[in-house]
Structure 1
Amino acid sequence: MSVPRRSPEGRPERPNDHVLTSIEICAGAGGQAIGLHQAGFKHLALVEIDPYAVKTLRENIKSLDEWSWEREYCDVLSGDVNDFRPLPNADGSQADLQKSVNFFGRPLLKKELDLLAGGVPCPPFSHAGKQLGKDDERDLFPRMLELVDELHPRAVMIENVRGIKDAKFEEYRRYIEARLQGGRAQRPETGVEEVFDGLGYEVCEWDVLEASDFGVPQLRPRAVLVAIRKDVLGDLKFVWPTATQAPKSVFVALKESMEDRYKPYISAGGEIAELAKDRLAEWKRLASLAADARKDGGVAPTLVGGSKKHGGADLGPSRAKAAWKNLGVSGMGVANGYEEGERKESQGRDLFGSDGPMLTVEQAAIIQGFPDNWKFTGGKTAQYRQVGNAFPPPVAQAVGKAIADVLYAARVRDARAEGERRDALPGQGASAVADSLDDRQRAGV
């Protein structure tokens, strides 16, 4: 169900039983949320600590028609995920989820959520960072496991940088898997090996996906863990996503937007028009040459979002800047849009520099696979960091679709089993079977 039906009052009607619900932590500016939404999931909560990213999520949900379901039922929560409380506490204190009561008619229950997802912070495992792993205070895998235990969702999806798959983190990965599905592993806090009972999940896959295999014009490998609750998976098989299309080049991805950026200057006539024509032609020459000649098909290097501790936005370290230069793009900063560039008189740097044009935030978003209508809030640097730190939506969509296939198949299987049970108990009466099914649904099983 992509857009809810409307009631006479203009509010979305309550969805039917086939809606797949999700909660996402560390949601950022919405890259993963968009992909999961496109895969058919409806978000009950998006939790994010960065205020600019929170505003981005809220503004897009407020303005985009395709997000009308979330306008009614999704809480966009600003704050530390360690303080997030999705369920009511034992003392009766209220849960953080308020809008979902409109969906369920009551607070969310344990085992009721379909998917818990999160792009937990990457610095602990990033090749660009110190790779402290479990010893890094920014490691939020422990909090993710706490939420899995608390919510007991039907499926779990965790995204991180590929560095977590490095050999030095093998023991930590074994611990995460043991916590989810049971097994022997070293407890990170003590280094003592233990046997864990697990939380009732099967880790179906923990592997690396390359964004360029899913239509994203960028080399961006991401490690993704998918675990499905054992009672849900049963005899079903999770199918890991495979490449959906050939890599899209930067030339193809940015051609239209580059033409649009130079168009006002070409239309102005005179010397500036000739300069604009020359610079646009040179960008097209270099970008198309890379698309034809390079083994990677002329895709972009990995965008780097950076952090608040390090100056303004740029397109990464020296190696990345050299790769951008071969694509006809200057990696020394991020360009202002047309109006801002005119006001600040920065177009000499932004569009007409000797190393080629700098990317705008909007063009960086294209490189990440964001939809054209998804807008970012904050200043230019804040916007670029939201884009650069995102999980590309097309990759999230592919993983989400694979998870959704299992969850829908499980519903069909369980409904068939319920029908067979009904047929086997004619003396019980249809109402007794229906009552039994209602009881189990209320329990979230």
Structure 2
Amino acid sequence: MEICAGAGGQALGLERAGFTHDAVVEIDKWAAETLRLNRGSDTSHPWNVLEMDVHNLDGTQWRDQIDLFAGGVPCPPFSIAGKQLGADDERDLFPQALRLIEEINPRAVMLENVKGLAQKRFDNYRNQIIERLTALGYRVFWDLFQAADYAVPQLRPRFILVALKNDLAMHFSWPEPSAHQVHVGPALHHLMAARGWPGADEWARNAAAVAPTLVGGSKKHGGADVGPTRAKEAWKKLGVKGTSIAEEAPGPDFPVDDPDILPRLTVQMGGVIQGFPEDWKWAGGKTAQWRQVGNAFPPPVAEAMGLAVKQALLSSRPTNLNEEVQAPASA
């Protein structure tokens, strides 16, 4: 079961790790529509998408039926770009996540947030979360991870908390990083070249680095661009103009080798930078779509973490019952 699912990055990664979803909860109408476009009832791998406020969600109907409770709880309370109000921020949904965990009693928990939650100023708040989970019978693990270490072509540091029931915790270990990083050029070359831009090959050779962290803006602030000034400068070094998002890839008449006229990212390209498949569908206008892209949890990171959790879950089951070991877990 997953709350605050956004555009489905975490859910997609967990699906790839072998989890099936009993419910995927999201309040934003465009993000919920994105979930339905890609995993609705008329698709090959449907998710039970619940478009609702988690404050109104009763978890008791799933009690003792869920292997993994997951969520990307909103980051504004802890974001460096925000006021960092923590528990005093009305957007803090950790209390609701903890309430649902108590009601559902899953075997494992995985919550992700921005790196700000690991700051010393939030030690007390973070410890309160850990103490509550410990009282519910879980052992808690947390750390900071870079998405670039898991084959995602951007930095994107994330705080990840995993909690497992005490009898499962001995089987858990964090996943190992990928052997190689993926750079922006190879990741986007075919998309930059899709409409015949003659400069795509040279652009890809020069974009030989990991991208800075993409941002999508909040509902109150920010529009469709790659982020603050420092991020725009970093993208400029990769040969990308970051002041706005393009409707389509550069065409055959787009300039080549002009430092003042650079290609821009499309929503599809932003999705690929986040680790989504390029055929992932995004609902809403360009700003709404980019907000979903910029706030997503990269699927490859969720997959790596999900595989580690799944290994712990399966390790506790009887190894002499092959069909039980092979059965998929549910989230």
**Aligned pairs, how many?**
319
Alignment map for 1:321-340 (pairs within 5 Å): 321-337=232-248
Cα 1:229–1:121 change in 2 (3 A) is same
1:179 & 1:114 partners in 2: Cα distance?
A: 19
How far does residue 64 in structure 1 lie from its aligned partner after superposition?
4.3
1:175–1:413 CA distance, 2 compared to 1 (3 A): farther
Does 1:284 pair with 2:210?
A: no
Distance between the aligned counterparts of 1:170 and 1:24, measured in 2?
A: 25
Shift of 1:112: 2.0
Could you tell me which amino acid in structure 1 is paired with residue 308 of structure 2? Answer: A
Secondary structure, aligned partner of 1:412: coil
Amino acid at match of 1:326: K
Q: Which residue of 2 aligns with 1:119?
A: 72
Instruction: Note if 1:317 corresponds to 2:253.
Output: no
SS where residue 144 of structure 1 aligns? helix
Give, in angstroms, the shift of residue 310 of structure 1: 2.5
1:241 matched to 2:152? The reply is no
- 2:12 alignment partner, one of 29, 34, 55: 34
Q: Secondary structure at the match of 1:202?
A: strand
**CA distance 1:221–1:311, change in 2 (3 Å):** closer
Q: Which protein has the larger Cα radius of gyration, Structure 1 or Structure 2?
A: 1
SS at the partner of 2:80? coil
* Structure 2, gaps ≥5 residues long: 323-331
1:210 to 137, 143, 146: 146
Distance 2:201 2:166 in 1: 57
Q: 2:308 aligns with which of 379, 402, 405?
A: 402
CA distance in 2, matches of 1:376, 1:219: 22
The answer on 1:376 being equivalent to 2:282 is yes
**How large is the RMSD of aligned CA atoms in angstroms?**
2.3
Does residue 83 of structure 1 match 2:56? yes
The change in CA–CA distance for 1:319 and 1:407 in structure 2 (over 3 A counts) is same
Q: Find out whether 1:50 has 2:28 as its counterpart.
A: yes
- Report the AA paired with residue 147 of structure 2: A
Whose relative contact order is higher, 1 or 2, with alpha carbons under 8 Å and at least 6 apart? 2
| 1:269-280 paired onto structure 2 within 5 Å | 276-277=197-198, 279-280=199-200
Q: Which moved more, 1:123-132 or 1:324-333?
A: 123-132
Task: Report the TM-score when normalising by structure 2.
Answer: 0.91
Report the TM-score when normalising by structure 1. Answer: 0.68
**Percent of aligned positions with the same letter in both sequences?**
53
- Alpha-carbon distance in structure 2 between the residues aligned to 1:56 and 1:414: 41
- Structure 1 runs of 4+ with >2 Å offset: 62-65, 279-286, 352-355, 412-416
1:178 is aligned to 131
Kept in 2, the 8 Å contact 1:127–1:163? The answer is yes
Q: 1:260 and 2:238 equivalent?
A: no
CA deviations on 1:68-107 (whole Å, 9 max, x unpaired) are xxx3xx421112111112334xxxxxxxxxxxxxxxxxxx
SS of 1:41 mapped into structure 2: coil
* TM superposition shift of 1:380: 1.1
Q: Please state how far the C-alpha of 1:355 moved relative to its aligned partner.
A: 4.2
Following the alignment from structure 1 to structure 2, what is the Cα–Cα distance between the partners of residues 253 and 401?
24
Matches within 5 A, 1:185-204: 198-203=135-140
Whether the aligned pair in 2 keeps the contact of 1:329 and 1:355 (CA below 8 Å) is: no
Describe the SS at the equivalent of 2:75.
coil
